[in-house]
A and B are shown apart, each in its own frame.
Chain A
Amino acid sequence: MARADGYTTFVSSGFGKKLATTLGLPQPVPLRRYVPGGPLVDGPVLVGGHADTPAVTALRAGLTAAGATLTEVVPDGARLGGVVVDLTAAETPADLESLRATLAPALKRLGRCARVVVVGRRPGTSGSVAQQAARRALEGVTRSVGKELRAGATANLVLVTEGSEGAALGTVLFLLSGRSAYVDGQVFRVGEGGAVDAPADAEHPLAGKVAVVTGAARGIGADIARTIARDGATVVCVDIPAAGASLADVANEVGGTALQVDVTATDAGARIAEHARTRHGGLDLVVHNAGITRDKLLANTDEDRWDSVLQVNLLSILRMNEALLAKDGLRDGGRMVLVSSIAGIAGNRGQSSYAASKAGVIGLVDGYAADRALRRRGITVNAVAPGFIETEMTAKIPFATREVGRRLNSLSQGGLPVDVAETIAYFAADAQAAVTGNVVRVCGQSLLGA
């Protein structure tokens, strides 16, 4: 699944590194990615912040239980695996000094592919104006730090709700781990909920879950199927009948089932739900990944091209969800993850139809997350928005354009399909019961649309 691009390999070698340093070229490093059985993070994790808060207490306990070595001071002669800074108690911008004081010395002692995780509170409407300013300031700091970090390190912000601090643990663990390799400069919003018990089998957080992945025959979809199967899920792999050969290969590789159905068929949702119910006894996770591009400048886009993109990428999800979100579809406590795109956030020349559909997907997330009936059933709906991901599709982009796409981000490299898949697996876990309505970019902190 994982492979570094040629340039990254080159600048990681002795001569290549020297040359890149001399010329001031970008110096991407091979990212630290999750390996089952490996440590959560390479090196001790510094935990600090502004005062002792319920959040930091919960995090210390959770991180220790997850096997991390915690420290309160920057160690001499050793490299930090990560820094977690709690600013949930920040009441005025003056309190941000605690953040600076904790981070500044730590940033000089970060190891390769280290992690910076800032924890704050969601800006509310009830607090003082000073408090609002302090909370919002965290985004600016975190995003800037992300751009300052080198050697594969990332910085992300987690916003928690008062009284639900324990619910953020899963997100912080994800951000510290190799699972979040290409997630950088993002803001995660954790809603109301209690602490969730750690999964019985830490290496198989999705054990016993039945998942459906559309567009599973190739590319990102195939790696989504592989990743959630690795995490223990039984996977129903869905793709159009014409892609059946590679779909069968993926399904057999992950020990799941192949279902050849066009997501735009009127009965697609019902057939998927029925398959999951009769074959596997129910449905816990739906990943709407199927998508197409029909790139053309809008001036040259005819109705057919426009319609086919909107049908496959957006309308099919709405139609399928009538069955998938009905009573005998997704189980209570189920998860739905949609695949948006950086094009849906930033827009892209020649991709007006694609961008329309992928921005529409974000609208779906907003709509479903606000749906009280779904919240009562414990169903969460989130999206990933991939940036430049190394796939068959991006391999066809002309060299120069491809190189620009690859390097224009804080990690100076493209992501891998597995990076998108890991974020989806994160959303899917039981631990994320309080995470809904998020659109997380898996883009290495791309400059586009930032």
Chain B
Amino acid sequence: MTTHRRAAVLGGNRIPFARQFGPYAEASNQDMLTAALEGLVARHGLAGERLGEVVAGAVIKHSRDFNLTREAVLGSSLSPDTPAYDVQQACGTGLEAAVLVANKIALGQADSGIAGGVDSASDAPIVVPERLRRKLLRLNRAKTAAERAKAAVTIRPTDLGVQVPANTEPRTGMSMGQHMALTAERWGVTREAQDELALASHQNLAAAYDAGFFDDLMTPYLGLTRDQNLRADTTIEKLGSLRTVFGDGPGATMTAGNSTPLTDGASAVLLGSQEWAEEHGLKPLAWFVDGETAAVDYVSGDEGLLMAPAYAVPRMLARQGLTLQDFDLYEIHEAFAATVLSTMKAWEDEEFCRERLGLDAPLGSIDRDTLNVTGSSLAAGHPFAATGGRILATLAKLLHEKGSGARGLVSICAAGGQGVVAILEAA
């Protein structure tokens, strides 16, 4: 099969995002992903249906969840004949999963599929220190009582302890926030600009809820009907009063208000070919036009940890023959308010565009009224792998409301100096 056809985003579902140790504290990744799938299945009448595949993943994962997505499918109302596999690309997981499903549909290898993601910052796997782990494995290998005793006595009280996963880059030992603080300083992003972006995120998300925008994008879970992190009544003064948590000295600008909190949640997006959609009485919301991934060398300090999307977008634009201004809506994942602002500053910067991107002229600016119009991660929260699905479903619906041909850009930064971006076009 070499014929290319278009893959459509047909709909989405997510559970409201909860703050760490909130209502979902006891829910596992499998529980939440299954709930997100069940809502999607119910909304689109897919009970008993065999789909081409379900692709999803989690960033923080228990070793027992080696087949997380397949297990979630088996626990859902989908046909058990639906295959599934896991992917993991840090915060890019959800969008990367959609790229994979859309590509298979475009190639004719699948007619339908679900892309999703889930993460729990509460139900985290706990790991024992490496030295203790090796000794326990040796104990487990021991065959005779004597061997077991010999192995057991090597375990010292100082070996005991637990390690909880941390939001830290293994190669730099720095947290994501610390990395971001360096980039924010490099681009001169002010505290005021960050707080304004955070405020807009909360206001836009609250307005979208009030308008019923999420009624067909969300299914309540464990008593939660809205994102728990949303502060509809926050003000620029309240945000301005928060102390800084990342960066050093008087120049520090990043607070808990303009950084995303640790969150629990899951999302899922239904994709399919036009024919499959018609057979199932579904209307394509948007076409999945293209996707691109990029990575940058943040280890040497050559580029900021979360700046890869700044490179991925121009490569994709060049391939599509589009300019940065050819979009009606932009969804730039708010890992931190400073991430969005640094990326946009880079695209407006002549030197960066020339030296780093090899362009003759800057990509230019984005109309802020078209950016994250129903809020983004600062307000909704950011269960790492679930963010891609949240953004895709939201943007597809927004574009569909705008009318055929409307174009949207998605940009998601990820740990490890990576970024995943995509283009949707209203069907």
Contacts and interface: CB of A to CB of B under 8 A. Distances in A.
Given A241-B215, A241-B220, A247-B42, A255 B47 contact: yes
Interface stretch (B33-41, B117-125, B232-240): B33-41
Interface size class of A (residues with CB under 8 A): 20 to 34
A213 to B, nearest CB: 14
B45 interface: yes
A245 interface: yes
B283 A278 contact: yes
Interface in A350-408: none
Interface residues of B, number: 23
B282 to A, nearest CB: 7
A308 B215 CA distance: 21
Contact of B215 (A251, A253, A260): A260
B38 A252 contact: yes
Interface in A215-273: 237, 241-245, 247-249, 251-261, 265
B420 interface: no
A280 interface: yes
A244 B39 contact: yes
Contacts of A249: 38, 42
A67 interface: no
A283 to B, nearest CB: 13
B24 to A, nearest CB: 13
A259 B225 CA distance: 15
A6 interface: no
Contact of A245 (B35, B41, B283): B35
Contacts of B190: none
Contact of B218 (A244, A247, A252, A280): A244
B225 A252 contact: no
Contact of B77 (A243, A247, A252): A252
A243 B218 CA distance: 11
A24 interface: no
Contacts of A237: 42
B74 to A, nearest CB: 14
B301 interface: no
A248 B225 contact: no
B118 to A, nearest CB: 16
Contacts of B281: 278-281
A104 B214 CA distance: 63
A257 B220 contact: no
B88 to A, nearest CB: 27
B71 interface: no
Contact of A260 (B47, B77, B216): B216
The residue in A244, A254, A257 that gathers the most chain B C-beta atoms within 10 A of its C-beta is: A244
B225 A257 contact: no
A242 B216 CA distance: 12
B188 interface: no
B288 to A, nearest CB: 21
Nearest to A278: B281
B169 to A, nearest CB: 37
B47 A279 contact: no
A369 B6 CA distance: 50
B221 interface: yes
Contacts of B47: 251-256
Interface string A73-116: 00000000000000000000000000000000000000000000
A252 B49 CA distance: 11
Given A255-B47, A257-B44, A280-B281, A245 B219 contact: yes
Interface string A310-337: 0000000000000000000000000000
B400 to A, nearest CB: 13
A252 B41 contact: yes
A244 B77 contact: no
Nearest to A258: B42
Contacts of B216: 259-260
A261 B283 contact: no
Interface in B215-252: 215-216, 218-221, 225
Contacts of A280: 281
B215 A255 contact: no
A166 B77 CA distance: 43
B11 to A, nearest CB: 11
Given A245-B219, A245-B220, A280-B281, A255 B48 contact: yes
B272 to A, nearest CB: 14
Contacts of B41: 248, 252
B206 to A, nearest CB: 15
A253 B218 CA distance: 19
B212 interface: yes
Nearest to A267: B212
Nearest to B225: A242
A237 B282 CA distance: 17
A241 B214 CA distance: 9
B62 interface: no
A279 B42 CA distance: 12
Contacts of A241: 212, 214-215, 218, 220, 225
A251 B212 CA distance: 21
A248 B221 CA distance: 11
A303 B125 CA distance: 53
A237 B253 CA distance: 49
A248 B48 contact: no
A272 to B, nearest CB: 13
A244 B45 contact: no
The residue in A243, A256, A258, A261 that gathers the most chain B C-beta atoms within 10 A of its C-beta is: A258
A242 B220 contact: yes
Nearest to A251: B42
B282 A252 contact: no
Interface in B40-72: 41-45, 47-48
Contacts of B283: 278
A245 B221 CA distance: 6
Contacts of B218: 241, 244
A258 B215 CA distance: 11
A211 B282 CA distance: 18
A281 B281 CA distance: 8
B86 to A, nearest CB: 23
Nearest to B280: A279
Contacts of A257: 42-45
Contacts of B212: 241, 265
24 contacts: A241-B212, A241-B215, A244-B39, A245-B220, A245-B221, A247-B219, A248-B42, A249-B42, A251-B47, A252-B41, A252-B47, A252-B77, A253-B47, A254-B47, A255-B45, A255-B47, A257-B42, A257-B43, A259-B43, A260-B216, A260-B219, A265-B212, A278-B281, A278-B283
Smallest CB-CB A-B distances: 6 pairs: A248-B42, A258-B42, A252-B77, A251-B42, A257-B45, A279-B281
Given A253-B77, A260-B215, 20 more contacts: A237-B42, A241-B220, A241-B225, A242-B225, A243-B220, A244-B39, A244-B220, A244-B225, A245-B35, A245-B39, A245-B220, A248-B39, A248-B42, A248-B219, A249-B38, A249-B42, A255-B47, A257-B43, A260-B219, A278-B283
Interface of A: 237, 241-245, 247-249, 251-261, 265, 278-281
